[in-house]
Amino acid sequence: MRGLFRHNRNNQDSCAICHMNISEDQNGEINGMNQANNYIHCPNGHFLHIEPCLKNWILESINCPVCNAPYNRDIVTKFKVIAEKINNRREKQQKQEQVIQKAVEEYEQIENKEIIPSDIDEKLFRSKKLILDGNYAAALNILFDILDNKDPNNHVAKYLIGKVHFLNQRYELAVTNFTRLVKSQLDYPLAYYYMGKSFEQLNLPDKAKWAFKHSLSNIRSLINKPEIDDVKESKLKIIVQKMETFISTL
Ligand SMILES: [Zn+2]
Ligand SMILES: [Zn+2]
């Protein structure tokens, strides 16, 4: 069957998704699939790597990404199960993450409402408001002014700069800033939390997990501090509980 379509293909076979080479061996094929050589092709001779290209693609469609011809049913059945498992796990993790994010935001709302009288704290208060309004450039101006002219070691300002970069989807900058902060100030749980979220966006799941774990242990020690107030404590406890479950799935 496939011989009929051989002229459709290049001499050099390559994967329709990642465009990297595929080494074809027709003798090892069963139903258009050669597991030893890690490829599969549709009835019209369009090749894909099984790992990871087909396994990712089959989350979207059971047809060839080039010509839309359906793959052999046995193959689809075999990978659909994997695909559905992956999908279910992803959906579950996404839901857990949303719950954590909501709890974090509720905790942040309490922090944002704290009114503190000094000049620096007034500036911090103002920059938090600007961040909430999405006015990141103005917030950064104030925060850099604090670090440059008032208090070069101000942890909150450093944290908020990292947060702005995170919200602005500048994840590498966010990681750089949070890393600097946690070097000097070890108990900054939300810095580790947003560092983890940034690593996630940068497709670095191991580092994300590492950062989430740090965040978790920092939050635990924050809860144990005698000066923590009840409202914050209860919010933090919720975050801990949700995060423990989430990390265990990573
Ligand atoms: Zn590929
Ligand atoms: Zn095709």
201 CA to middle of ligand 1, Å? 22
pLDDT-based confidence at residue 116 (cuts at 50, 70, 90): low
Lowest-pLDDT range of 5-19, 33-47, 72-86, 180-194: 5-19
* 54-58, 84-88, 142-146 — most confident range: 142-146
Look at residue 185 and tell me whether its pLDDT is greater than 80.
Answer: no
Mean pLDDT over 207-232 rounds to: 89
What pTM does this model have? 0.57
* Average pLDDT along the chain: 86
Mean pLDDT over 62-88 rounds to: 85
- CATH homologous superfamily of 87-248 equals Tetratricopeptide repeat domain (1.25.40.10)
Lowest-pLDDT range of 1-5, 100-104, 114-118: 1-5
Query: Of 75 and 1, which is predicted with more confidence?
Result: 75
Q: What are the Cα distances from residue 248, in Å, to 17, 199, 209, 233, 239?
A: 32, 17, 10, 23, 14
Ramachandran angles phi, psi of 18, nearest 5° = -100, -5
- List where CATH 3.30.40 sits in the chain: 2-71
51 CA to middle of ligand 1, Å? 7
49 CA to middle of ligand 1, Å? 4
- Name the residues around ion ligand 2, CB cutoff 5 A: 42, 44, 46, 64, 66-67, 69
Mean pLDDT over 107-121 rounds to: 74
Please check whether the domain covering 2-71 is classified as CATH 3.30.40: yes
Look at residue 114 and tell me whether its pLDDT is greater than 70.
Answer: no
Query: Which segments of 15-121 are extended strands (E)?
Result: 33-34, 39-41, 47-49
Mean pLDDT over 219-232 rounds to: 86
Mean pLDDT over 225-249 rounds to: 88
Per-residue confidence (pLDDT) for residue 1, from 0 to 100: 40
Looking only at Cα atoms, what is the longest distance across the chain?
Answer: 80
- List where CATH 1.25.40.10 sits in the chain: 87-248
72 CA to middle of ligand 2, Å? 12
